[in-house]
Amino acid sequence: MAAKKKSKTSEGTPSQPTEPLSRLLRLPSGPVDMAALDPAATHGYPGVGKDDAPALTEALAPELSDLQERLYANGRSEPEQAPSVLVLLQGMDTSGKGGVIRHAMGMVDPQGIQLTSFKAPTKEELSHHYLWRIRRALPRPGMIGIFDRSQYEDVLVVRVDQLVPVSEWSGRYDEINAFERKVVESGTTVIKCFLHVSFEEQKQRLADRLASPEKYWKYNPKDVDARAKWPAYQQAYADALERCNTEHAPWFVIPSDRKWYRNWAVAQLLREHLVGLDIGWPEATFDVADEQTRVAES
Amino acid sequence: MAAKKKSKTSEGTPSQPTEPLSRLLRLPSGPVDMAALDPAATHGYPGVGKDDAPALTEALAPELSDLQERLYANGRSEPEQAPSVLVLLQGMDTSGKGGVIRHAMGMVDPQGIQLTSFKAPTKEELSHHYLWRIRRALPRPGMIGIFDRSQYEDVLVVRVDQLVPVSEWSGRYDEINAFERKVVESGTTVIKCFLHVSFEEQKQRLADRLASPEKYWKYNPKDVDARAKWPAYQQAYADALERCNTEHAPWFVIPSDRKWYRNWAVAQLLREHLVGLDIGWPEATFDVADEQTRVAES
C-alpha cells in the first residue's frame, strides 16, 4: 500500500498507468539476464492495445508542452540555476530510436530540444577522449537533450568489434558512471532508455524495409553484419546495463517490439520525470509595475 | 484562368486556399509601403475564423510529415544531390517567431530540423564577417533549416542603432542578395517570412506578458526601448524588404496580428514549397534482392 502512495495523484485519470512507469520500467539492480526481459511487454499501458495508442500518446502532448515550456522559461530567466533533462536512447538497429524521436519527442517545442545523433566518430572526435563529444552535446540549462546513441557505443560496438583492447574498454563503465554523476550533480536529469527489441522482430523490420521503396533509405547492409554478432551485442548490453545502472542515472528498459507501446512509454517516462522536477514559472527579473507603466506610455 | 492552373490540384480540398499562399503572400517587386501592408489580413485562409485554425493547421501535419520525410530520406541516401529548405523568420519583437516555431515547425520530425536563433553576435562572431555565422548555420542536404532572426539583423538593428556606419551597412543589401543567390544555387529553397505585426498589437502583447506570471520570462525591458524606435525600424524593414526581394529568394509578408492565421500561413507556405520540390523516395543504394536473401538467412 505504501509503495502505491505516489501514484495516487494520477489514479483519477484513465489515461495514466496506475503505477509510475519510472518504477515499472526501471531496471532492478543486480545481474542482468537479457532473456528475462520481455521485449513485447506493455507494462503500465493504460489502454487495451494498439488502437488506443495514438490517442493515449497524443493525450500527453498538452502536459508535455506545458512542462517543457516551464523548463525552458527557467533556462531563459535563470540559466545559472535552471535544470535540464537528457533522454538517452540506446538499442540495436531497428529498435526505434528514430521512431521515438519522431513520435514522442516530436510532441514538444523544437526550440526546447537539443538533439544529437552520435555516428561513428570523426577524425577530430577520435583525436579526443571518447567522452569529449558527449560532453559538448550535453543539454544547456532549460533544455531537453536527446542522445540518439551515446557514450555507451564506446562499450558496445567498440567492444564487439574490438576497436580498442579489452584493457581499454573495461575501465569505461566506472568512468561513465563517474561522468554521469557529474552531469546529474550539475542539474541534469538523465533518463537512460534501452529500447529492447527481439532478434525475430529485428528480422521482420529489416525485411519490411526491403519490401517497400519508401523504406529503402532506412536500410543499411551493415545492419545485417551487426545482426550476425547478436549474441556478442547482447552480452555487451547486459554488461553495460548491469554495470552502469546507478542510483543517480538508472537504466529504463523499454520493451520495443510493439512500436506503439515504445513511443507511448518514452513520452510517459519523460512526462513523469518533468513532473518530478516540479518546475514553477520563473520570477520576474524586472519591476513589473514599472514596466507596465512604460508599456502603457509607449 | 491560366494563372489559376497551378492551384487546381488542391481545389478539391476545402482545407486548402483556392490560390497558393506562396502567390498571395509574396511581396510584389517595387517600392514597399509598410502602411499598405495589412497586419490583420487573412489572405487565402480557407476557414471562417479563429475557431477553425487549430484543426486547419493540424490537418497539414500528415502531409508535412510525409514531405519532410522524403526530403530527409534524400539527404541520407544522396547527400551530394539532395535539396534542403530554409525558413527564415524576421519580425519586430512579439511578432511571433517563437510561436511559429512551436506551432508550425513543431509539426515536423525534430530529426529533420536545424534550428538557429541568432542573438546579439558573440565576440567570436564579431571577429568575422557578418555572414560567417549565417553560413555555418545553413541547412545540410535533406534538412529544413529555421532561422529565428538572420542576416537581416545586420541591416535592421545594426542600422537603427548605428552599430556600424552607413557606408558599411548600405552595401549589405547587394551582398545579401549575392549570398542568397549562392545558397539557392547550391540547392536550398529559401522561404523568407516577414512576420508583420502592428504597433498597437505589439503594445497589447507586451502588456499581456506583464499581466501573467506565466509570461514574465518572455518579457524583456529592452523591447520597450526598441519600440520607441518603431518608425526607424519600419523604414529599415521597408528597405530590406524592397532591396532584397529577389526572384531567387523573394519575401513573403505574413500578416501576424492574428496568431492563428500566422501559424497556419507559415505551415501552409512550407507545405507548398515542399510540394513544389516534388521529391520522390530515393533509389536503393544496394541490391534489393541480394539483401532480401541476406536478411532471410540471418
CA distance A72 to A53: 28
Residue B207's pLDDT is what? 98
Residue B188's pLDDT is what? 98
Q: What is the DSSP letter of B81?
A: T
CA distance B116 to A221: 34
10 Å CB burial of residue A57 (0-12, 13-18, 19+) is buried
CA distance B240 to chain A (A): 25
Instruction: Check whether B7 has a pLDDT greater than 60.
Output: no
Tell me which chain A residues have a C-beta less than 8 angstroms from the C-beta of B295: 203, 206-207, 210, 224
Tell me which chain A residues have a C-beta less than 8 angstroms from the C-beta of B224: 291, 294-295, 298
Tell me whether residues A221 and B291 touch, CB distance under 8 A. Answer: yes
What mean pLDDT comes out for the span B218-246?
97
CA distance B50 to chain A (A): 19
Residue B15's pLDDT is what? 77
Which position has the grid cell 499562399?
B21
Contact indicator for A24, A252 with CB cutoff of 8 Å = no
Instruction: Check whether B9 has a pLDDT greater than 50.
Output: no
Q: Is B19 helix (H, G, I), strand (E, B) or coil?
A: coil
| Of the candidates B148, B69, B142, the residue with the CA atom closest to the CA atom of residue B107 | B69
- pLDDT tens for B188-223 read 999 999 999 999 999 999 999 999 999 999 999 999
| Alpha carbon separation from B168 to B155, B163, B164, B229 (Å, rounded) | 10, 10, 6, 21
SS3 sequence, chain A?
CHHHHHHHHHCCCCCCCCCCHHHHCECCCCCCCHHHCCCCCCCCCCCCCHHHHHHHHHCCHHHHHHHHHHHHHHHHHCCCCCCEEEEEEEECCCCCHHHHHHHCHHHCCHHHEEEEECCCCCHHHHCCCCCHHHHHCCCCCCCEEEEECCHHHHHCHHHHCCCCCHHHHCCHHHHHHHHHHHHHHCCEEEEEEEEECCHHHHHHHHHHHHHCHHHHHHCCHHHHHHHCCHHHHHHHHHHHHHHCCCCCCCEEEEECCCHHHHHHHHHHHHHHHHHHHCCCCCCCCCCHHHHHHHHHCC
What mean pLDDT comes out for the span B38-63?
95
CA distance B219 to A8: 37
Tell me which chain A residues have a C-beta less than 8 angstroms from the C-beta of B105: 110
CA distance B228 to chain A (A): 7
Which are the contacts of B118, defined by CB distance < 8 A and separation ≥ 6? B133, B134, B137, B147, B148, B149, B150, B153
Question: What angle in degrees, to the nearest 10, is found between the helix axes of B172-185 and B230-243?
Answer: 50
Contact indicator for A174, A15 with CB cutoff of 8 Å = no
Q: Which of residues 181-240 of A touch B (CB under 8 A)?
A: 203, 206-207, 210, 213-214, 216-219, 221, 224, 227-228
Residue in chain A nearest B230 by alpha carbon: A298
Tell me which chain B residues have a C-beta less than 8 angstroms from the C-beta of A221: 286, 291, 294
Which of B108, B111, B115, B287 to probe the A interface (max A CBs under 10 A)?
B111
What's the number of CA atoms in the CB half-sphere (13 Å) around residue A33? 2
Question: What's the pLDDT band for B6 if we cut at 50, 70, 90?
Answer: very low
Outline where DSSP puts E strands in chain B: 84-91, 113-117, 144-148, 188-196, 251-255
Residue type, A46: P
Which triple of cell numbers denotes residue A50? 494498439
Contact indicator for A28, A17 with CB cutoff of 8 Å = no
Which position has the grid cell 519490411?
A208
| Alpha carbon separation from B230 to A295, B124, B225, B243, B251 (Å, rounded) | 14, 30, 9, 20, 21
Q: State how beta strands B84-91 and B144-148 pair.
A: parallel
Tell me whether residues B217 and A295 touch, CB distance under 8 A. Answer: no
CA distance B287 to B295: 12
Mean of pLDDT over chain B? 94
Contact indicator for B83, B143 with CB cutoff of 8 Å = no
- pLDDT tens for B70-124 read 999 999 999 999 999 999 999 999 999 999 999 999 999 999 999 999 999 999 9
Tell me whether residues B213 and A284 touch, CB distance under 8 A. Answer: yes
What mean pLDDT comes out for the span B47-54?
93
Tell me which chain B residues have a C-beta less than 8 angstroms from the C-beta of A67: none
Tell me whether residues B207 and A105 touch, CB distance under 8 A. Answer: no
- pLDDT tens for B12-28 read 445 788 899 999 999 99
CA distance B92 to chain A (A): 15
Q: State how beta strands B113-117 and A84-91 pair.
A: unpaired
The ipTM value here is 0.91
CA distance B257 to B42: 10
Which are the contacts of A69, defined by CB distance < 8 A and separation ≥ 6? A109, A112
Tell me whether residues A216 and B281 touch, CB distance under 8 A. Answer: yes
Which are the contacts of A142, defined by CB distance < 8 A and separation ≥ 6? A71, A72, A73, A74, A75, A76, A79, A82, A83, A84, A112
Tens of pLDDT, residue by residue, chain A (298 residues): 333 333 333 444 457 888 999 999 999 999 999 999 999 999 999 999 999 999 999 999 999 999 999 999 999 999 999 999 999 999 999 999 999 999 999 999 999 999 999 999 999 999 999 999 999 999 999 999 999 999 999 999 999 999 999 999 999 999 999 999 999 999 999 999 999 999 999 999 999 999 999 999 999 999 999 999 999 999 999 999 999 999 999 999 999 999 999 999 999 999 999 999 999 999 999 999 999 999 999 9
Contact indicator for A227, B298 with CB cutoff of 8 Å = yes
CA distance B276 to B270: 10
Residue A1's pLDDT is what? 31
Residue B64's pLDDT is what? 96
